[in-house]
Amino acid sequence: MSKRVIVVESPAKTKTLQKYLGKKEYKIIASYGHVRDLVAKEGAVDPEHDFAMRYDLIEKNKKHVDVFLKEMANAQELYLATDPDREGEAISWHLYEIAKEKGLLKDVKVFRVAFNQITKTAVQAAMDNPRELSMELVHAQQARRALDYLVGFNLSPLLWKKIRRGLSAGRVQSPALRMIVERQALIDAFEAKEFWSIEADLNVDKQDFIAKLTKYEGEKFEQFTITDEKTATTAQEKLKKLSNGELTVAKVDKKQRKRNPAPPFITSTLQQEAARKLGFTTQRTMRTAQTLYEGVDVGNGVEGLITYMRTDSTHLANEAVDEIRNLIIERYGKENLSDEPRIFKSKSKNAQEAHEAIRPTVVTHIPDEIKSFLTAEQYKLYSLIWKRSMACQMIHATINTVGVDFNCGEGNTFRATGSSIKNAGFIAVYQEGTDDEKKEDDEKFLPELEEGQVVKAKDIAGKQHFTEPPPAFTEASLVKSLEEHGIGRPSTYASIISTLKAREYVEMDKKRFRPTDVATVVSKFLTNYFTDYVDYDFTARLEDDLDAIARGESEWVPLLRKFWKPFKHLVDDTEENVKRSDVTQEKMDENCPKCEKPLTTRLGRRGKFVGCSGYPECDYTRSVGGDEEEEPETIDRNCPDCKEPLIIRHGRYGKFIGCSAYPKCKHIEPLEKPADSGVRCPDCSKGNMVSRKSRYGKIFYSCERYPDCKYAVWNEPLDAPCAKCGFLMTTIKTTKRRGTEQVCPVKNCSHAVPYEAKED
């Protein structure tokens, strides 16, 4: 029998497929993601030769490529079964090219198979209906990768020269950063305005409710009709006098409205809802969804629990709709089933209807029934997906709304609103969340009221309010805004956000993005000098052009050519004609108190500060919006290197001890002396292992002789050699799944035994 090789991306998927396809007929191996990438140096993309791209094997995946090539030496059939998206297609193409370059594809039949879900039926159907590699998808991915390289490799060095080393810019990352910076600018520039509402505290049959003034002295009462306490008090007293403790029902409006369920999840809506309802980051959502897609053992062996999680399509397969509708009848009754199957139209022009929305592969896997087989994260996310999929085929919710107008003398009207659910419909299973939601008055219940009825007014009072700035972005609202602007695609949202965090362009404050001072300067520089390339519409049009390549409607090289020439000209012009001070300094309408020269805001290592334009002749500085910088705090000790006094300094990661003679002497030491573990360093055997804090505040353990000895571990050292390999030290590791264990830190040693701390 011929030898058949199947290549997937993840090792978890190999186990699931092996179960469905058997071990005898197929050899299933994993690529562990991308196997090749552009060489990490200039010239990886060559604009002079039709943007020829030079690739190299990714170092960490070389061993997996070697396994692939070894298996291909005797193969007669190759099935490329990487993920069913643009990136997956590119990985398959790279594997194909590697094997072809090695001469391993002679007389080998090559097939491309794609699994939208990893169930036995879907896998068998894909294997029975293979296709060829889609070069349109490959070219679209290559164009995207080339554009990202050309932007990053040209803009990032420019940022290094004009602002600070270590910065980066990206084709999609930079417009996203601009979005966050501009929102913060609106928040910072916002000036709160005072306004007043007038409310009547009413009571009917022992039920209290509120009515708000909507008409005053014959005129419509608007937000800024009353803007000060004096006017509010006058109006309040006048209305109290007119009411004499009672208001009369003038009009009762009763209506019914229908609320339809949201479509099943696509990538962006899953990320938004998981952020709102579960508090998940986009990365955590995608990581957890990946495990549900690749397969979990829920009692009958490993099987994929959801369809592919990177999708723009809200389409559901007919058989999936039938299964969902049958389960609705079984669990919730036929009366809660929509009359006809709901069909949802995808907003994305590039959504492939052959792909599906994110849904359970087997809807009868009820979340609570398989909970014991799932991790806490998997259960929460699977429940969300299952409920949304069920709700989308259920009947609409019917809501009764009521609005009641009350007269208070001539020309004055109060209004109370409320609502009640007549038929919950889909809401009984799932209701979509919203960003920055506020409790609306019409969510309250009102008593039964009739026209002409006199209602007791317990009080009429003014209520002070202030307008609020727009909220800072959360991960959910940023993804929503990126999607609305057409920036990025399902597979890119999580990486955009993680890059902004990793580059320290943003800080999270109560789960909201706050741009750092560096981010503000970078965004302003790009907006001023590379306006088109961080323009939202330009970025969206470029995404559409890449989608057109994927659909086979456009060629990729002409697109790159059209982009490259004006972009390169702008980079060269900016490098030559823009000074660093133009970017990092901003003149203030204030003179230096020391030398009378103009003051400027500058970007330093710790963010923005105010400094004299006469520097270095004048050394005046102060914090932005503050006073002159305080004298540094000294400690009763001299520098061991140059004998000058030591002082407490502030760095980007907090306080530390440094030499007062800096920059001539660069001696530094931590403010808190690292705690000695008493365990000898197993690498150099000269120093002890001490506990330190990483830049992100995480505790780790390293040799006290650093930087002479760079040995370090994350887990607490234990002065006991490994019983298996004899290594001089072991560590204490605690996980939820295995508890606390004594483990060997040597990578290839599997020694791990339960550990109990000895009582003192």
Comparing C-alpha atoms, which of 659, 645, 653, 607 is closest to residue 629?
Answer: 607
Which distant-in-sequence residues (6+ apart) come within 8 Å of 422 by Cβ? 256, 398, 399, 400
- pLDDT digit string, tens, across residues 96-111: 999 999 999 998 999 9
Confidence (pLDDT) at 670: 78
Please state the rounded mean pLDDT for residues 739-749: 88
SS3 580: helix
State yes or no: pLDDT of 429 exceeds 80.
Answer: yes
Place 141 in a pLDDT band, splitting at 50, 70 and 90.
very high
Confidence (pLDDT) at 625: 64
State yes or no: pLDDT of 65 exceeds 50.
Answer: yes
Which distant-in-sequence residues (6+ apart) come within 8 Å of 206 by Cβ? none
Residue 385 Cα to chain centre, angstroms: 18
Please state the rounded mean pLDDT for residues 541-562: 92
What does the block give as tokens for 257? 């409205």
State yes or no: pLDDT of 155 exceeds 70.
Answer: yes
Q: What is the 3-state secondary structure (H, E, C) of 309-352?
A: CCCCCCCCCHHHHHHHHHHHHHHHCHHHECCCCCCCCCCCCCCC
Q: Do strands 246-259 and 397-407 pair parallel, antiparallel, or not at all (unpaired)? A: antiparallel
Vertex 547 angle, CA 541 and 552, to 5°: 130
Confidence (pLDDT) at 1: 38
The lowest-confidence range among 139-143, 184-188, 337-341, 621-625 is 621-625
Confidence (pLDDT) at 736: 62
- DSSP letters, 494-556, are HHHHHHHHHTTSEEEETTEEEE-HHHHHHHHHHHHHSGGGG-HHHHHHHHHHHHHHHTTSS-H
- pLDDT digit string, tens, across residues 509-549: 888 999 999 999 999 999 999 998 999 999 889 989 998 99
d(CA 221, CA 233): 15
The lowest-confidence range among 151-160, 295-304, 394-403 is 295-304
Confidence (pLDDT) at 757: 63
Find out whether 684 and 692 touch, Cβ atoms under 8 Å: no
- DSSP letters, 381-423, are HHHHHHHHHHHTTBPPEEEEEEEEEEE-STT-EEEEEEEEEEE
Residue 116 Cα distances to 170, 235, 588, angstroms: 30, 65, 58
Please state the rounded mean pLDDT for residues 692-710: 84
Residue 384 Cα distances to 103, 378, 713, angstroms: 48, 10, 38
Tell me how long the chain is.
Answer: 760
Q: What is the DSSP secondary structure assignment for residue 731, as one 8-state letter?
A: E
- Comparing 285 with 636, which gets the higher pLDDT? 285
Confidence (pLDDT) at 215: 96
What stretch of H or E contains 33?
none
The lowest-confidence range among 70-84, 312-326, 666-680 is 666-680
Q: What is the reported pTM?
A: 0.75
State yes or no: pLDDT of 668 exceeds 90.
Answer: no
Active-site residue, from 308, 379, 430, 529: 308
Catalytic site residue 308? yes
- pLDDT digit string, tens, across residues 119-138: 888 899 999 999 999 999 99
Place 353 in a pLDDT band, splitting at 50, 70 and 90.
very low
- DSSP letters, 85-131, are SHHHHHHHHHHHHHHHHTT--TT-EEEE---SS-SHHHHHHHHHS-B
- pLDDT digit string, tens, across residues 48-60: 999 999 999 999 8
State yes or no: pLDDT of 575 exceeds 70.
Answer: yes
Place 19 in a pLDDT band, splitting at 50, 70 and 90.
confident
State yes or no: pLDDT of 566 exceeds 90.
Answer: yes
Please state the rounded mean pLDDT for residues 2-24: 84
Question: In one letter, which amino acid is 390?
Answer: M
Place 377 in a pLDDT band, splitting at 50, 70 and 90.
very high
Q: Give the chain's mean pLDDT.
A: 89
Place 437 in a pLDDT band, splitting at 50, 70 and 90.
low
Confidence (pLDDT) at 746: 92
Which residue has 């554009």 as its token pair?
Answer: 147
Please state the rounded mean pLDDT for residues 550-560: 93
Confidence (pLDDT) at 734: 81
Give the N- to C-terminal CA distance of the chain in Å, as an integer.
Answer: 66
Place 344 in a pLDDT band, splitting at 50, 70 and 90.
confident
Comparing C-alpha atoms, which of 428, 414, 490, 496 is closest to residue 172?
Answer: 496
Confidence (pLDDT) at 522: 93
Please state the rounded mean pLDDT for residues 80-92: 92
Phi/psi at 488 (5° precision): 80, 175
Q: What is the DSSP secondary structure assignment for residue 649, as one 8-state letter?
A: E
